[in-house]
Amino acid sequence: MGIGEIVGLVVVVLFVIVTLLRSVRIVPQQRAGIVERLGRYSRTLEAGPHLLIPYVERIRHMADLREQVVPFPPQPVITEDSLSVSVDTVVYYTVTNARDATYEIANFIQAIEQLTVTTLRNVIGSMDLERTLTSRETINDALRGVLDEATGKWGVRVNRVEIRAIEPPPTIKDAMEKAMRADRDKRAAILNAEGVKQSQILNAEGDQQSAVLRARGEAEASVTRAEGDARAQALRAKGEAQAIETVFEAIHEGNPDSKLLSYQYLQMLPKIAEGDANKLWIVPSELTQALQGIGGALGNLTGAGEQGDEAAAVTAEGGDVDPRRSEQVAARKRERATGAELAQAIEQLSTPAVGPVVGNVARTPDAADDQNTQE
């Protein structure tokens, strides 16, 4: 075999190998291959091994079916109140149809970016700065609706659009910070004033409740004290009534005579006459008779005592003088003198009272002297 034949055999083998390699293609998971036959779309290859006609069919594009994230550079946007802000966005999309994404548009990513910018300027241009800063969800929904409708024919679905940052100019940021600081100071002052007000209200309510409770306690104490005094007086009156009943029963059971009662009245006369204001007292009509009886009895006793002493003295004259007997006689004389004075006082009390007497009421000598002086 010559060299020419060997070279030819090697070329044939290499051609066969290359042909086999070009005819067998493996598509990865979540990928889609666009197959063209002689320059025209033939079919879409899904994940797995596939056979192609060598030199007739080829894979033009391998589309990625996974969700893609594309960040777009910040874009200047003018708000409704003529303020320029820089908006930074991120788009999340998914290729749903590899054929449309390949043949319907040349570069769908660039198309999405330009459509996002124009839609963003339309949406934010109808809002002022404050609303723009606080309405991110509204802007995201508006962008996603417009992009999803426009990219549907491209075989692309926009899942969501997120605004990463909205940067106002530095001067606006300084003014906003000052306004925010002033608002916070205002709120702090208001909260402080409300706290002081609430504290004063609570203190006033506490003082009021304390005063009410104190007054209620004093009233209850007064009522309790009054009830205690009333009970004490009732018990005292009941005890006095029982004592009077006991004394009354004892007097009736003892059956005292008029002399005993007169003697008790004499003992009470000093207490009745106590005080400068006592100018008048009541003398029972039966008292004079009882006093006369007591005076007579005392007079008889005095006379009998004098006669006995005289007899004793006469008897002693005939004999020797007994010192003990002399002392007893002297003591009896003193007792008789006291009895005589008592009898004289009783006789004076038994006489009609000084001054006019109305019924059983007599005036004292002081009252009579006062009456005479007035006359």
Tens of pLDDT, residues 32-78: 888 888 888 888 888 888 888 888 888 888 888 898 898 888 888 88
pTM of the model: 0.45
* HEC readout, 3-72: HHHHHHHHHHHHHHHHHHHHHEEEECCCEEEEEEECCEEEEEECCEEEECCCCCEEEEEEEECCCEEEEC
Domain residue extents for the chain = 3-63, 68-168, 181-254, 258-374
Spatial distance between the Cα atoms of 5 and 322, rounded to a whole number of angstroms? 205
Q: pLDDT by residue (tens digit) across 8-26?
A: 777 888 888 887 877 888 8
So what's the architecture of 68-168 in CATH?
A: 2-Layer Sandwich (3.30)
- Give 252-288 pLDDT, tens digit per residue: 776 666 666 666 666 666 666 665 555 555 555 555 5
pLDDT tens, residue order, the chain (375 aa): 567 777 777 788 888 888 787 788 888 888 888 888 888 888 888 888 888 888 888 888 888 889 889 888 888 888 888 888 888 889 898 998 888 888 888 888 888 888 888 888 888 888 888 888 888 888 888 888 888 888 888 888 888 888 888 888 888 888 878 888 898 899 999 999 999 999 999 999 989 998 999 998 899 999 999 999 999 998 988 888 888 888 777 777 766 666 666 666 666 666 666 655 555 555 555 555 555 555 555 555 445 444 554 444 444 444 444 556 666 666 666 655 555 555 555 555 544 444 333 334 444 444 444 444 444
- Residues 63/34, Cβ–Cβ less than 8 Å: yes
- pLDDT for position 201: 92
Give me the DSSP letters along 73-108: --EEEE-TTS-EEEEEEEEEEEES-HHHHHHT-S-H
Distance CA 42, CA 33 (A): 11
